[in-house]
């Protein structure tokens, strides 16, 4: 059935002028047509660029323009909990500034009224009536581009990570089958794999679409949130569809943990065989809750460390093979060569050490370039430590040689498993009228892993009653520029920022203050104006 529908969708793309190498932007909710659209592009050699449905019109426009997309696939709207989210109208706003886009295919989902521009906008359902299910797959070179996926880094502008046809598909299938110990079905029913990520992120690309489907697995797609209609939603799905592999993020586990066991205990979870964790470090408390209450101490937990840039899993236990240690991604997969380096780039050997995590040797799923700017790719990943791929993560290797990822060492935040650059958030805040300058850092958050803390200088220090209004306006601005996921959790108005004499903001100090540390702030003698630190620390939220 999937093959039939992919061929039909591929023919729709072809009849709308899409050829091998053209870029197609996909902005859809988590419906089957999202996976079908992705695979339809792959079938005809078009390059897909999926944009997560939570991003703003401005973010969509930036991504479309960077990749010069010719066509957009979207829906009238999507559901999120009990809310309806308009998608097509957001695309309409985006396209005001996107001259490369010639066609927009609109799927009917919520039946929200939409404006349909003559000559540009067409309905998915009507187009499907015009095509057959015969579509020969385009012949591709292993190194032909398969897709672009934008991800945040330490600079303001997200990078278009490029993956290619051969290496990426081989690597996602290889890692999927080995890490989750997926076995081909013996009887009628293929094991059911439920990855709760959105296809808008790399986890969804690799472990909802490509890895499982290339392996013949049944991949379960979930359009919703873990807490609607109640906190038992995941367990209801596991029970109803007899899920065998569950792959989710620590932030989801932490949020469900807090909602009591009664939502878990009224469901049959005995079909589960393997549990996975991804996106951020999993704390021991969450690991044990997952192990005790979901896996009932009989399912291995694979804590999988990897990145958009790595295409697939890199450091992870192999289910039922690798002895587990809570909160450890454990050991590199066969073929992966991690190294820890110090600030000068010198390799740190031996065990019981920590450093910056790099990879020494290429692997099939590795990033090939950043779209349209190869030099940026070289600079970002291969220039910090010559001869090595630098991950941006800090890591420790314990006495047993086990790896534990400690978090980003660059200016990238991980908020509920979403990657957000501090510079991106600062740029968005700075677009708000009256804002002179801002500095954004992360701070530990019980559920999200990291929260976003913004220090903001305005042209006039807002009085108490104005401060709340100004904060709300800043949040609205960030939502408008990036999307709701990038909204700061805390905003503190300050009169200055701690800067060195050369004008560099000392984020180390701001991070400490945001963490609640107001006295031991380390060396502040190199600051231009050390007094500002006291003011900021005394006003910490």
Of 100, 181, 283, 307, the residue at the interface with ligand 7RM (CB under 6 A) is 307
Min dist CB 168 to ligand 7RM, Å, is 14
Which of 241/376 has CB closer to ligand 7RM? 376
34 sits near ligand 7RM (criterion: CB under 6 A): no
CB count in 10 Å sphere of residue 142: 12
Using alpha carbons only, give the angle 516, 429, 75 rounded to the nearest 5 degrees: 115
- Whichever of 45 and 204 has its CB closer to ligand 7RM, that residue is 204
- Nearest approach in angstroms of CB 74 to ligand 7RM is 23
Per rule CB under 6 A, is residue 62 in the interface with ligand 7RM? no
Measured from the CB atom, the residue of 191 and 449 that comes closer to ligand 7RM is 449
Q: How far is the CB of 114 from ligand 7RM (least distance, A)?
A: 31
Q: Return the number of the residue (414 or 422) whose C-beta is nearest ligand 7RM.
A: 414
Under DSSP, the state recorded for 290 is: I
Min dist CB 365 to ligand 7RM, Å, is 12
**Listed residue (201, 138, 163, 177) closest to 321, CA to CA:** 177
Name which of 304 and 470 has its Cβ closer to ligand 7RM.
304
For 513-538, b/e burial (b = at least 16 CB within 10 A) is bbeeeeeebeebeebeeeebbeebbe
Smallest separation (angstroms) from ligand 7RM to the CB of 505: 22
Determine if 208 is a binding residue for ligand 7RM (CB under 6 A).
Answer: no
Shortest gap between Cβ of 414 and ligand 7RM (angstroms)? Answer: 5
Separation in Å, CA 465 to CA 216, 435, 455, 462, 538 = 59, 17, 18, 8, 20
Q: Render the burial of 333-365: b for 16+ CB within 10 Å, e for the rest.
A: beebebbbbeeeeeeeeeeeebbbbbbeeebbb
Per CB under 6 A, the segment of 47-55, 220-228, 305-313, 474-482 that binds ligand 7RM is: 305-313
Minimum distance, C-beta of residue 308 to ligand 7RM, in the bound complex (Å): 3
**Contact indicator for 225, 81 with CB cutoff of 8 Å:** yes
State the nearest-atom distance from the C-beta of 172 to ligand 7RM, in Å. 12
Contact partners, residue 293, CB within 8 Å, separation at least 6: 261, 264
Residues in the chain: 541
What are 449's strand-pairing partners?
Answer: 415, 445
Q: Could you tell me which stretch among 13-21, 42-50, 297-305, 525-533 binds ligand 7RM (CB under 6 A)?
A: 297-305
Q: CB 191 → ligand 7RM: shortest distance, Å?
A: 22
Site residues (CB under 6 A) for ligand 7RM, limited to 273-292: 277-281
Give the neighbor-by-neighbor strand order of the sheet with 103-107.
121-123, 103-107, 71-75, 23-27, 47-50, 145-151, 159-164, 369-370
Question: Strand, helix or coil at 427?
Answer: helix
Q: Give the whole-angstrom CA distance, residue 234 versus residue 225.
A: 9
**121, 303, 411, 424: residue in contact with ligand 7RM (rule CB under 6 A):** 303
Measured on CA atoms in the order 292, 231, 34, 67, is the torsion positive or negative? negative
* 163 contacts ligand 7RM (rule: CB under 6 A): no
Residues 370-429 that bind ligand 7RM (CB under 6 A): 391-393, 405, 407-408, 414, 419
Q: Which of the ranges 35-43, 199-207, 215-223, 379-387 carries the binding residues for ligand 7RM, by CB under 6 A?
A: 199-207
Residue 304 contacts ligand 7RM per CB under 6 A: yes
Count, residues near ligand 7RM per rule CB under 6 A? 24
The interface region with ligand 7RM, picked from 56-64, 74-82, 254-262, 303-311 by CB under 6 A, is 303-311
Closest to ligand 7RM by CB, 45 or 312: 312
Q: What angle do CA 31, 180, 294 make, to 5 degrees?
A: 80
Question: Which of these ranges, 110-118, 211-219, 298-306, 348-356, lies near ligand 7RM under the rule CB under 6 A?
Answer: 298-306
- Give least dist CB 524 to ligand 7RM, A: 28
Gap between the Cα atoms of 111 and 390, Å rounded: 46
3-state helix, strand, coil in the chain (%, to 5): 30, 25, 45
**203 touching ligand 7RM, by CB under 6 A:** yes
**Longest CA pairwise span in the chain (Å):** 72
Q: CA distances (Å), 227 to each of 49, 233, 236, 489, in order?
A: 29, 6, 11, 20
Smallest distance from ligand 7RM to CB 157, Å = 16
> At its nearest, how many Å lie between ligand 7RM and the CB of residue 403?
9
x/- site string to ligand 7RM, residues 326 to 345, per CB under 6 A? ---x----------------
Residues of the shown chain interacting with ligand 7RM in the complex, contacts defined by CB under 6 A:
151, 201-203, 277-281, 303-308, 329, 391-393, 405, 407-408, 414, 419
């Amino acid at each position: 059935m999937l093959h039939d529908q992919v061929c039909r969708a591929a023919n729709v793309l072809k009849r709308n002028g899409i050829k091998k190498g053209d870029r197609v932007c996909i902005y859809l909710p988590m419906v089957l047509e999202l996976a079908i659209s992705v695979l339809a592009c792959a079938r005809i050699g078009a390059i897909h660029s999926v944009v997560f449905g939570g991003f703003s019109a401005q973010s969509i426009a930036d991504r479309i323009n960077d990749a010069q997309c010719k066509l957009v696939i979207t829906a009238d709207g999507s559901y999120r909990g009990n809310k309806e989210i308009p998608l097509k109208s957001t695309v309409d706003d985006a396209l005001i500034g996107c001259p490369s886009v010639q066609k927009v295919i609109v799927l009917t989902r919520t039946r929200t009224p939409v404006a349909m521009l003559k000559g540009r906008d067409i309905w998915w359902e009507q187009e499907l009536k015009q095509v057959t299910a015969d579509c020969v797959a385009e012949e591709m070179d292993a190194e032909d581009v398969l897709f672009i996926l934008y991800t945040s880094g330490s600079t303001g502008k997200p990078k278009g990570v490029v993956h290619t046809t051969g290496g990426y598909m081989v690597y996602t299938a290889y890692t999927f089958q080995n890490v989750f110990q997926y076995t081909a079905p013996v009887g009628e029913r293929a094991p059911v794999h439920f990855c709760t990520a959105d296809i808008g992120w790399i986890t969804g690309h690799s472990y909802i679409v490509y890895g499982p489907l290339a392996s013949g697995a049944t991949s379960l797609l979930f359009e919703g949130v873990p807490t609607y209609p109640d906190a038992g939603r995941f367990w209801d799905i596991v029970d109803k569809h007899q899920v065998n592999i569950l792959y989710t993020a620590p932030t989801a586990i932490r949020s469900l943990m807090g909602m009591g066991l009664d939502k878990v205990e009224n469901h049959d979870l005995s079909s589960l065989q393997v549990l996975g964790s991804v996106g951020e470090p999993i704390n021991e408390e969450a690991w044990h809750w997952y192990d005790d209450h979901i896996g009932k101490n009989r399912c291995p937990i694979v804590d999988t460390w990897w990145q958009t840039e790595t295409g697939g899993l890199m450091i992870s236990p192999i289910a039922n093979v690798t002895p587990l240690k809570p909160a450890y991604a454990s050991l590199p997969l066969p073929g992966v060569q991690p190294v820890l380096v110090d600030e000068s780039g010198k390799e740190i050997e031996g065990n019981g050490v920590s450093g910056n995590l790099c990879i020494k040797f290429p692997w099939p799923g590795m990033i090939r370039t950043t779209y349209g700017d190869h030099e940026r790719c070289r600079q970002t990943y291969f220039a910090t430590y010559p001869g090595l791929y630098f991950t941006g993560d800090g890591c420790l290797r314990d006495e047993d040689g086990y790896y534990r990822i400690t978090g980003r060492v660059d200016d990238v935040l991980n908020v509920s498993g979403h990657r957000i650059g501090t510079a991106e958030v600062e740029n968005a805040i700075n677009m708000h009228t009256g804002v002179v300058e801002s500095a954004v850092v992360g701070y530990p958050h019980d559920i999200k892993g990291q929260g976003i803390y913004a220090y903001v200088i305005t042209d006039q220090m807002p009085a108490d009653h104005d401060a709340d209004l100004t904060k709300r306006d800043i949040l609205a601005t960030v939502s408008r520029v990036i999307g709701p996921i990038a909204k700061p959790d805390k905003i503190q108005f300050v009169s200055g920022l701690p800067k060195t004499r050369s004008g560099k903001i000392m984020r180390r100090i701001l991070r400490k203050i945001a963490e609640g540390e107001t006295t031991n702030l380390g060396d502040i003698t190199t600051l231009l104006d050390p007094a500002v630190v006291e003011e900021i620390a005394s006003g910490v939220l």
